[in-house]
Structure 1
Amino acid sequence: MQVSLAKRLTRAIMDPLDGWLLALLAGVFVLSMIALFSASNQSWAKIDNKLVYTALSLLIMWLLARLSPQTVMHLALPLYVAGVLLLVGVELFGITVNGSTRWLNVGIARIQPSEIMKIALPMMLAWYFQKYETTLNWRHYVVAAVLIVIPGLLILKQPDLGTATLVMGAGFFALFFAGLSWKIIIGGGVAFLASLPVVWNLMHDYQRKRVLTLIDPMEDPLGAGYHIIQSMIAIGSGGVWGKGWLAGSQTHLDYIPERTTDFIFAVYSEEFGLAGNLLLLALYLGIISRCLLITARAPTLYGRLLAGAITLSFFVYVFVNMGMVAGILPVVGVPLPFMSYGGTATVSLAIGLGMLMGIGKLQRR
């Protein structure tokens, strides 16, 4: 009787979740705890905080996976409007830290509204295209582009180039899965390349410096180039098998900046080498592949667009973080999904994957 009850309880808990996706995420979580323990100089306080946020993320993921996509879809418009209004609030009443105005004090807490738009924008676009699925024409894509540009410009003004790129990228992915013509995509790419001189003049000084540092980090080895140089040294010194857990010299001699957050991949690479990196890449590729499979099998346009945007946004997180740590992309402050220390990004990613699992559950049924 007790065994049967335990089985039913386990089945009830696991039913909304995608088993393969959950197993792959668990693998990344184990590696993140190992890397964080070393990166934080064996700080149990950071480990405890990571566990708390991970438990909260799992709970949110499970709750969202239980909801039908149709139920979640009704939240798209109010969530998008609320997100835009909060971004306007940041512009008017925001808190400035280190020259950037990205936070808003709402009384009980300080929030970063741009994080809301990472989920709200693809939800809004998926809802919009679902609503006009049978009558789609070029006007709908223009309206969708406006829906992307509004929060994108508000976030760029903070300024926060990294988050703006992720938010507008998520919106573009929704357009792509909605059937945006390749001619428009290629034409837009050509237009963007042609506008680079104008974009360069509009960039802030620190943003231009990041691009120049990417080209030649040795131009300012103790200033703007320090992050990239030290992370590249750490990755290279790891070799094939790494220096061993808790034995990374770049890490424990405090050469790697932001080593528990944006640059935790450098810590992991130094201690576990190429072999460890291949394992981590395999886990991430497994997650992305599983998410793409759910996207392809989604029974509704809304589910396909939302799942596709979430999947490719996850890919961008991984690609941009590893690229900037390896010195092939500018440093833009993008965390490595479920590896970097920090609660906001973990929760926002869990929200996206929870909705994606809900779409997968509908497909299974």
Structure 2
Amino acid sequence: MASSVFFTHSHCYSSKPSSLVFRQVGVGPTSLRFSSSHVASVAAMAMDSSAKVIDGKSVAKQIRDEITAEVSRMRESIGVIPGLAVILVGDRKDSATYVRNKKKACESVGINSLEANLPEDSTEEEVLNYIAGYNDDPSVHGILVQLPLPSHMNEQNILNAVRIEKDVDGFHPLNIGRLAMRGREPLFVPCTPKGCIELLHRYNASIKGKRAVVIGRSNIVGMPAALLLQREDATVSIVHSRTSNPEEIIRQADIIIAAVGQANMVRGSWIKPGAVIIDVGINPVEDPNSPRGYKLVGDVCYEEAIRIASAVTPVPGGVGPTTIAMLLQNTLISAKRVHHFE
């Protein structure tokens, strides 16, 4: 999932006030200001680092190993290899990198990968034709359309064209609708929110009866993450760009899932001691010590959170690797469902 590139301070602490703005498609901006007094309050509450680092790379490897074993068993038992088709439109470097990483991940577990690379000026009809072909291909068990698409295309029309049985990204309206309804099960759960919950499970974080706050309400992460937490019997609040006093709501959370694409937005003083934090944000910030001139940080100020939370995901190396592992898992689930393989 690509994010807008903008730069801010490379660290959380600053003697100058900083204005932080929600950057999320479909919602207006809300400025959140932090003064030097905020920094002082965070420094006063800082303690020896005791938070557990939730290692997404390690969890992703565990999941890939499990998938590798199942793919091998399926191949040896019924001669079927799961297949994932990825459609990439345009020449965005970040999208090409994501697709390349997904292809490598498929190869690492024995899943077949197909790739369609279309030029930026392709028509919507051309993309739909590729989707139709993959929909009808029995060797393809999952179809992924890499986002974002060029501006002249109707993203929803294209995503809706993917057959629901192959919607391994979990974006089809029927999958989201089933996720929202009690007593109904979606065929697939969106990969990033699913990865967030998987990280909580693998680190034995208690969800039932806990207060959870999801920061961001996007269709890709925020909303489905909130629905998944509700399914696990958490009491869920959503903080977004129109929320008044977001820090007061976040401060009550036992579990925080941050997904707004705003560097270091959640400060230490916003965090309840002992909270578990899943940071979905991937934001470039200036870093003169890096050969690239920038580094990647999350939506949560890691340097402050590590002193207060009981567990926190790093950025990078937290949610990202787990998201790709969930894509592989969904592809395997699809293949097993089609071939009635238990």
Settle same-fold status: TM greater than 0.5: no
Higher relative contact order (CA 8 A, sep 6+): 1
Which structure shows the bigger proportion of residues in helix conformation? 1
| TM score, norm. by length of structure 1 | 0.25
| TM score, norm. by length of structure 2 | 0.26
Which structure shows the bigger proportion of residues in strand conformation? 2
